[in-house]
Chain A
Amino acid sequence: MKKYLTKNLVVILALAFVVAACKQPTALIDSAKAAIEDVTKAGADKYAVEELKALNDDLTKAMDEVTAQDKKFFKKFGTAKDILTQLATKAAELKAQVPAKIEAAKNLGIQFQGEAQTALAEAKDFLAKAPKGKGTAKDLEALKADLTGAETAFAEIQAALDASDFIGAQDKAKSVKEKAAAIAEQVKAAIEKVKK
């Protein structure tokens, strides 16, 4: 009789384990979601867009797996659990990396600012050296005004950096650099016009 009871207990415990395994990994899902929200708030939506997308894709994959298993008689949430556990780890790693990514974005903004400044200085140099002779004076005056406009826009880069809008600063710097380069090309064309 005692043996019989022990056997039953073992079977019940084993089945309880199976039943437990049938449950959705809700806690893991919630913690994965919380981890993603956490890393998003840390700035990943701006400075680690691709990595954040990968995390969200992992969550979708895990949820798809949960949905698929839910439809089965014998539910195996092991794969989903693995993905969710890895996701939480990846999210924590990404969160730790975000400050460095923000710093890198800032440095890139500063680098682009420097490049824009160099491009403006080059254009200014070309303008200063350009012969204001027949056929160029009017063009060069117009380009000088264009350059002044680009220099005014350049000041916005620092304002964006100061406001910690590093992506905005990069975009502004790229735009100013592009315009300064175009002005330099136009100055060269004006000089060529004189040579002909």
Chain B
Amino acid sequence: MSAPKRLAKTLALGLFILAAACRTPPVPSEIAQAVVLEKDLGRAGGTLFFPEEVEAYRRRLVALKAAFETERAKFGWFRDYGPLRASSRRLLEEGGGILDRVARAKSSRSDSFQTAAGELEDRVARLKTITAYFNENDTIRQYATQAEIKLAEARLRAEKENYVEAKKSAAEGMALVEKAQAAAGGVLARYLDPDELARWRRLAEDTVASTRASGKVAFVVNKIERTLTVYRGGEAVSSYGVGLGRYGLSDKLFSGDEATPEGRYMIVQKFPQSTFYKALLINYPNDLDRKEFAAAKRKGGVPGGASIGGAIEIHGGGRDNLTMGCVGLENRDMDEVFRWAEIGTTVTIVGALAVEGTILEEIRKFGKNE
């Protein structure tokens, strides 16, 4: 055999082997795509959203790869990647479906977090508005502040797309809001009690009626609205903003409780000069206060050695000052009230007269999550 012939034969053999090896059925590229998809699922947080589905996908991919290796181990001519290609396509479709669902779930979680965060923000803001209306707000504000911090924390986590933790923080914030709400309920429950409201209304109406009958002046202090209204001849002639005791929404029971008494009193002394500008002393404790104090003492509701207290005044010095239980007014308003007042002028102090149109309405709505 001549050299060129031998070379031609060798080349032909080589090309035959090359064709046999490299032109065996092509490896299904879908398998590689399925591997990439597995990583995409991992990166997209698939295991967080649909752990079972992703795990099932992984198991099928492992099985597919094993089947591929088995097929590839066969001699080229006997390889048949057809069924594997079909399985790979189905797996890709399945994986693509999971990936779409992850994207939708992510978007939904982001929306759901934004909704939860918005709700929390709104409730915290409302809580803070409500607490501005009364002094007994320590616990409520503490919880509200903690809830605000939780909200900030939740937002930081959401920025990192960690919606699971973000929602957890928001839920913790909402739990704190509920605690604040419960604490507010403790302070304000009797202000929403219809019987208590009716009793206060009767007290105020009697006072107004008495001015109608006598033509004299009387003062009605409304604690929740923080107003002192001057009535003469059954009509309101003037109204002023007031400040109350540190625990002014409570009914005064004993000395040092810093609560503002409720009931019907009268002015027993006028002080044109006082530590707090000008002052009008009222006759706290009255007979009813004494009875309540004695009953509370019997039940152990009064600290040992505490007296019933006294020296409750309407005075100047500013209405934003926290008093020891007195009713505080701005000095210019005190000048006017002082002029209206006489020894014997009735001073009726009530918790509230209405729910509608007052902060109590907002408190009630807040309690009902409206």
A24-B32, A66-B32, A153-B146 as given contacts; A53 in contact with B43, CB under 8 Å: yes
Q: Which residues of A contact B143 (CB under 8 A)?
A: 149
> Chain B interface secondary structure, helix, strand, loop or mixed?
helix
**A side interface size, CB within 8 A:** 53
Instruction: List residues of chain A with CB under 8 Å of any chain B CB.
Output: 4, 7-8, 11-12, 14-15, 18-19, 22, 24, 26, 29, 33, 36, 53, 56, 59-60, 63-64, 66-67, 70-71, 73-75, 134-139, 141-142, 144-150, 152-153, 168, 171-172, 174-176, 178-179
Q: With A and B bound together, what is the CA distance between A147 and B146 in angstroms?
A: 10
Contact check, B149 vs A179: say whether CB atoms are below 8 A apart.
yes
What's the least CB distance linking A137 to chain B, in Å? 5
Known A134-B318, A135-B318; contact A71-B29, beta-carbon cutoff 8 A: yes
Sorted nearest first, the 6 A-B pairs with minimum C-beta distance are A149-B145, A175-B152, A149-B142, A145-B141, A134-B318, A19-B21
Least CB separation from B17: chain A residue: A15
Shortest distance in angstroms between A79's beta carbon and chain B's nearest beta carbon? 14
Known: A11-B14, A141-B322, A142-B137. 8 other contacts (CB 8 A): A59-B39, A67-B36, A71-B26, A137-B320, A142-B141, A150-B146, A175-B152, A179-B145
Question: Which residues does chain B contribute within 8 Å of A24, judged by CB atoms?
Answer: 27, 32
Contacts of A137 in B (CB 8 A): 320-322
A171:B157 contact, CB within 8 angstroms: yes
Bound CA span A74–B36, Å: 23
B135 at the interface (CB under 8 A from A): yes
Q: Is the CB of B153 within 8 A of A172?
A: yes
A175 touches B22 (CB 8 A): no
In the bound complex, do residue A15 and residue B142 qualify as a contact, i.e. CB atoms below 8 Å apart?
no
Looking at the assembled complex, report how far the CB atom of A56 sits from the nearest CB atom of chain B, in whole angstroms. Answer: 5
Q: Do B33 and A11 touch across chains, with their CB atoms under 8 A apart?
A: no
Within 8 A of A (CB), among B37-76: 39-40, 42-43, 65, 69
Contact in complex: A145, B321 (CB < 8 Å): no
23 contacts between A and B (CB under 8 A): A7-B10, A11-B10, A11-B11, A12-B17, A15-B14, A15-B21, A18-B22, A53-B43, A56-B39, A63-B33, A63-B35, A63-B36, A70-B32, A75-B22, A137-B322, A138-B320, A141-B138, A149-B143, A150-B145, A150-B146, A171-B157, A179-B145, A179-B152
CB distance from A133 to the nearest CB of B (A): 8
Please report the C-alpha to C-alpha distance between residue A36 and residue B148 in the assembled complex, in whole angstroms: 38
Give the residues in chain A near B156, CB-CB below 8 Å: 171, 174-175
**Cα distance, A160 to B321, chains bound together (Å):** 40
Tell me the bound Cα distance from A180 to B59 in angstroms: 51
**B87 at the binding interface (Cβ < 8 Å):** no
CB of B132 within 8 Å of the partner chain: yes
B317 touches A145 (CB 8 A): no
**Are A175 and B149 in touch, CB under 8 angstroms?**
yes
Given A8-B13, A176-B149, A149-B320 contact (CB < 8 Å) = no
Would B138 and A145 count as touching, CB distance under 8 A? yes
Nearest-neighbour CB distance to chain A for B62, whole angstroms, equals: 11
Least CB distance from B39 to A in Å reads: 6
Give CA–CA (A137, B165) in the complex, Å. 39
Bound Cα distance A176, B152 (Å) = 9
Once bound together, how far apart are the Cα atoms of A63 and B30, in whole Å? 11
- Considering the chains assembled together, what is the distance between the CA atoms of A64 and B32 in angstroms? 8
Q: Does B243 contact A (CB under 8 A)?
A: yes
A-chain residues with CB within 8 Å of residue B23 when the two chains form the complex? 73
A176–B144 CA distance with the chains assembled, in angstroms: 13
Does B236 reach chain A (CB closer than 8 Å)?
A: no
**B114 on interface, CB distance cutoff 8 Å:** no
Is B157 a contact partner of A145 (Cβ separation < 8 A)?
Answer: no
Q: How far is A22 from B11 in the complex, measured between Cα atoms in Å?
A: 19
B135 in complex: contacting residue of A12, A22, A141, A179, CB < 8 Å: A141
Contact indicator A148/B138 (Cβ below 8 Å): yes
The listed residue (A29, A146, A171) touching B142 by CB distance below 8 A is A146
Q: Within 8 Å CB of A53, what residues of B?
A: 43
Q: When chains A and B are docked, how far (Å) is the Cα of A70 from the Cα of B35?
A: 14
Q: CA–CA, A80 to B137, complex, Å? A: 66
Contact B36 A60 (CB under 8 A): yes
Report the minimum CB–CB distance from A130 to chain B (whole Å).
Answer: 14
**Residues of B with C-beta under 8 A to A11:** 10-11, 13-14
A67-B33 contact, Cβ under 8 Å, with A138-B135, A142-B141, A175-B153? yes
Tell me whether B131 is interfacial, beta carbon within 8 Å: yes
Q: Quick one: closest A residue to B151, CB to CB?
A: A175
Contact residue among A66, A75, A171 (Cβ-Cβ distance under 8 Å from B153): A171
